[in-house]
Structure 1
């Protein structure tokens, strides 16, 4: 029998990191509003959907946040959310806490396949998935780069705690 799981509103962190100033500094932002749900099958595999509100990005600098919300980057007016749909989450091996996650990432209406390894910490009524996922901004139509000062690639960090629904 399948179990339904919901993202714990207090148990998540979705971050983005990108080098800037020609690699001399790293900009880190946190998305404050994230929703998610999933299903875990008896065989230990799962699937799910995580939705992030693009406008909830906080880099602790208001002017930068406003620019990141503009059409140069997330274009939150036209694309208020981005999503990761996990088609399959399964153990890497029987004795490992790592899982392979396969799915699609949709940002600005661009959908790209994405596969990565996450660490799974399973407790009685919760499971926390932690991963660092590389990305390339241009793959999602984010090509603004004044004076070439931003690195083309960055990282998405996720820590997502799901709780079992009764």
Structure 2
């Protein structure tokens, strides 16, 4: 599938997009799943043929695991500290098509005021004349972002993140 799109600004369609997480806890016995319900973002395809760029912003307090007590703890200073750091932001500095029809996205992820470089490989799952949906699965080491709370060693440091982001030309 070709990923060539017209130049211009593209807005994230939050109703057609999702960010899900999975994390092993209780010494690997329990698989916790959740999703961020507060999403925003935009992208830009340069008219001069330069690399595409953009942002994906998650409202940290919007993480919903289906367990209220756990969600409150995730919002606390032990984890996301949402009062001080209300957003998680991925800033894409370059998105380029791959020969297999996928896309490589290079950028920076900021969580709790810690910014780390991140390169993702995605798949274009849908494309129209004015929109594109990209799916990315990756693993994030939460310790790199100051999310190191781990009472009695019960939590592994790696979290699986699955993103399906639909951008529509504005």
Structure 2 length-normalised TM: 0.92
Alpha carbon RMSD of aligned pairs, Å?
1.3
Listed as ranges, the matches of 1:49-64 within 5 Å are 49-64=55-70
Any idea what the Cα deviations from partners look like across 1:67-93, whole Å, max 9, x if unmatched? 000000000010000100000000112
Residues in 1 aligned to 2:33 and 2:24: alpha-carbon distance in whole angstroms: 9
Residue deviations 1:95-121, cap 9 Å, x none?
Answer: x22000000000000000000100113
SS in 2 for 1:30: strand
Q: Which runs of 5+ in 2 are unaligned?
A: 1-5
What is the aligned counterpart of 2:159 among 144, 154, 158? 154
Aligned residues, how many? 163
Where do 5+ consecutive residues of structure 1 fail to align?
A: none
Aligned to 1:129: 134
Could you say what secondary structure the match of 1:5 adopts? strand
Say if 2:29 is the partner of 1:24: yes
**Length-normalised TM-score, structure 1:** 0.94
Shift of 1:2: 2.9
Residues in 1 aligned to 2:134 and 2:46: alpha-carbon distance in whole angstroms: 16
- 1:5-30 CA-to-partner distances (Å, cap 9, x unmatched) read 00012111011111111111211110
Shift of the alpha carbon at 1:133? Answer: 1.3
4+ aligned runs moved over 4 Å, structure 1: none
